[in-house]
Amino acid sequence: MGQDKIILAGLEFYGFHGNHPAEQQLGQPFIVDLELYLDLEPAGRTDALEATVNYGQVYRLVQEIVTGRPYKLLEALAAAISDGILAGFPVDEVLVRVKKPRAPLPGSFDYAAVEIRRRRKE
């Protein structure tokens, strides 16, 4: 497996995830960063979309997951995203970072986040 990757950063969607009832009722923004690991040499040689991952389709999948059913934990949301990408796209590995800029925490902070990295099972 090569270390080539496609990066999608700062995908922002409105979702209803959180452990507190108010979070699931009112919703809030979530920001997703992705790194998709795969061999990009064929795409570089052929200049053909079929030789790579269509990141417009990845975007739509992530949008569907984040704006869909609510999850209590960021860990579960990130796992759903990674599972969907591994099931639907020819990537060897995926890194998913889900940021929650309005997490119910006291004080000042940029965001709470979870980052997971999953590899295709052989």
pLDDT, tens digit, 9 for 90 and up, residues 32-74:
999 999 999 999 999 999 999 999 999 999 999 999 999 999 9
- pLDDT level of residue 103 (50, 70, 90 thresholds): confident
pLDDT single digits (tens) 80-91: 999 999 999 999
Residues in the chain, total: 122
Query: Rounded CA gap, 116 and 19, in Å?
Result: 19
DSSP 8-state assignment for residue 102: T
Query: Rounded CA gap, 52 and 45, in Å?
Result: 11
Beta bridge partners of 116: 96
**What residue spans define the domains of the chain?**
5-119
pLDDT of 96:
98
Phi, then psi, of 117 in degrees rounded to 5: -130, 120
Catalytic amino acids? 100
SS3 92: coil
DSSP 8-state assignment for residue 4: -
- pLDDT level of residue 2 (50, 70, 90 thresholds): low
pLDDT higher than 70, residue 1: no
Joined together, the tokens standing for residue 81 give: 């995203």
3.30.1130.10, 3.30.365.10, 2.40.220.10, 3.40.50.300: which CATH number matches 5-119?
A: 3.30.1130.10
Query: Rounded CA gap, 116 and 104, in Å?
Result: 22
Q: Tokens 């200049």 sit at which residue?
A: 47
* Angle, in degrees to the nearest 10, between helices 74-88 and 55-67: 150
pLDDT of 104:
84
pLDDT single digits (tens) 4-28: 999 999 999 999 999 999 899 999 9
Query: Rounded CA gap, 74 and 78, in Å?
Result: 6
